[in-house]
Structure 1
């Protein structure tokens, strides 16, 4: 595993993203799930290459070339057949199509600092009873309103959700459903990264997490894809206790790659009362963005 300049880390060889994805995903499909007879001892946990080829209506030689990166332009029909053989969900199918037809020229842009709309910040700050954060392409917190900041405050990595989940000593206490949160967070990073795996900051992040967290290494190797949309999530907040919040994740058209995540509690619930208490405790804090956020606003896109 390497993490230096121009290097790659496990699962991030940008020369053969399609092949990596196919190998990882066939390893997750049990033969019996696809009606493939299991005879004798198998050295692989999932499907063999020839079994994926058979289920997809392809020759074994052609499928092997796909995995090895010697064939890079499968047709839409072939991609759809592979998706059925590998039992992919909608998010993973869309990702497979992107890998088969990557859009060039995006990764250099991802190395620049991300601009944040002052109008969006002003709107977020007006939501005094609703936590809201803006996430970047690598799940870093680019901005938040006061209540959004208070929701994630008090941790070593409060401003970086990937490192908060996998490196913060308080993570498993803060997230009572840590296993689910961890899987969804890694899948969300895969989705956000798309095919831009030569982004130096992404390489640095994945390299650090792979070295420091066995759980991250295991989840990253699965190549799961989870588009962040909406979900119910539980928190054990160090100040106001247990919270069950529903969130919606919205894309920001003016800033591709950024997500606005808005949290709400069920009206009248104990979580709503706890959120109200948290809001009252942070009411005296400034509603202006921090210095670091102001620097991002001023940075070139």
Structure 2
């Protein structure tokens, strides 16, 4: 008798009265989803010429964290037991959209999990914005669960080079040239940033917005795609950011992520000058110069002197 190796007993092929048409549909669906991806799409090296387009079965198995034999049986449409957790892993490996993920569940004979609608975004309270503004000249901002900026202060916008086009902290870290260029140890921080985002995604497994956002960033950043494919997790709530600002000079901050009890999906990021780095003095001088250079600064000063 053939030995099928690593597949658990509950997942081995067995007789069933399951629908042949459904299993055939599952087979064709998985094959076509696999064929539309290249190794580069998922951050894997291309290994030689391929007879057929797309990922190989063993590559999908590696990305999903399942056995090669088990995934082969799944794609062949064999009647095997599957769990929601494994289907979600396959869906992530194949970069399935939310409708495609639900379709995969139905083809596998499971009811798709109900996707809870995202909680409406709360407006920023004036007191919260005052807290951020009062933290200047030190940078501070509020992120939602998907790392979109809810509120920022002037110091954060100036120091990190955030513009009106930067709506998401993860996207800005990988695509904003000013932000990337300012981070002295960007290559060292990037894996931590991606690991933190995967940690947050893992806390909300039923929220498809994380996967959609990861897909968006992967499409424009090969570095992110490669790091995302590693599946590393870094639940870091504090650390060091070392920056090289074009005008303020070398800046080193200790940062801390704090929950907001009245906004359970959001968190506050505070940055403090690291002791012994000279950051506090350079920051004070530079932000004072920025304030002085604002268009309304001179007229205000002239009016004060005239009074």
TM-score (norm 2): 0.55
Deviations 1:232-270 (A, max 9, x none): 111122321221111111111111221111111134632
Match of 2:262 among 254, 272, 276: 254
In the superposition, relative to structure 1, how do residues 73 and 200 fare at CA in structure 2: closer, same or farther (>3 Å)?
closer
2:117 aligned counterpart, secondary structure: helix
Quote how far apart the aligned CAs of 1:194 are: 2.8
What SS is found at the alignment partner of 1:222?
Answer: coil
Matched, 1:273 2:281: yes
Determine if contact 2:252/2:277 at 8 Å carries over to the other structure: no
Quote the residue 2:230 is aligned against: 222
Is the contact made by 2:149 and 2:169 (CA closer than 8 Å) also made in structure 1? yes
Which of 112, 118, 140 pairs up with 1:109? 118
Change (3 A) 1:203 1:71: closer
TM-aligned CA deviation for residue 180 of structure 1: 2.1
Q: Does 1:175 align with 2:183?
A: yes
Report deviation, 1:107.
4.1
Whether 1:264 and 2:272 are equivalent positions in the alignment is: yes
1:135 to 111, 119, 143: 143
Q: 1-side partners of 2:179 and 2:173: how far apart?
A: 5
TM-score by length of 1: 0.56
User: Which residue of the partner structure matches residue 119 of structure 1?
Assistant: 127
Match of residue 232 from structure 1: 240
Of 241-250 and 113-122, the range deviating more from structure 2: 113-122
Q: Is the 8 A contact 2:115 2:206 kept in 1?
A: no
Compared with structure 1, are the counterparts of its residues 137 and 220 closer, same or farther at alpha carbon in structure 2 (3 Å cutoff)?
Answer: same
In the alignment, structure 2 segments of 5+ residues that lack a partner are 1-32, 35-40, 44-58, 75-79, 87-112, 296-307
- 1:125 & 1:253 partners in 2: Cα distance? 20
Judge which range, 210-219 or 146-155, deviates more.
Answer: 146-155
Number of residue-to-residue matches in the alignment: 208
CA distance in 2, matches of 1:186, 1:178: 12
Q: Which residue of 2 aligns with 1:208?
A: 216
* TM-fit CA distance, 1:156: 8.0
Contact 1:197 1:203 (C-alpha < 8 Å) held by counterparts: no
The structural deviation recorded for 1:127 is: 2.0
Distance 1:250 1:280 in 2: 27
- Do residues 165 (structure 1) and 173 (structure 2) align? yes
CA contact (8 A) 1:25 1:222 kept: no
Q: 1:162 and 1:122, CA in 2 relative to 1: closer, same or farther beyond 3 A? A: same
Q: Secondary structure at the match of 1:125?
A: helix
**CA offset digits 1:74-131 (Å, max 9, x no partner):** 9xxxxxxxxxxxxxxxxxxxxxxxxxxxxx8774125x43433332222222223332
Change (3 A) 1:154 1:171: closer
1:177 to partner: Cα distance: 1.0
- Higher relative CO (Cα under 8 Å, sequence separation at least 6) belongs to 1
Structure 1 gap ranges (5+): 3-8, 12-19, 27-47, 51-59, 75-103, 287-301
Q: Decide which structure has the larger Cα Rg and report it.
A: 2
Contact 1:187 1:225 in 2 (8 A): yes
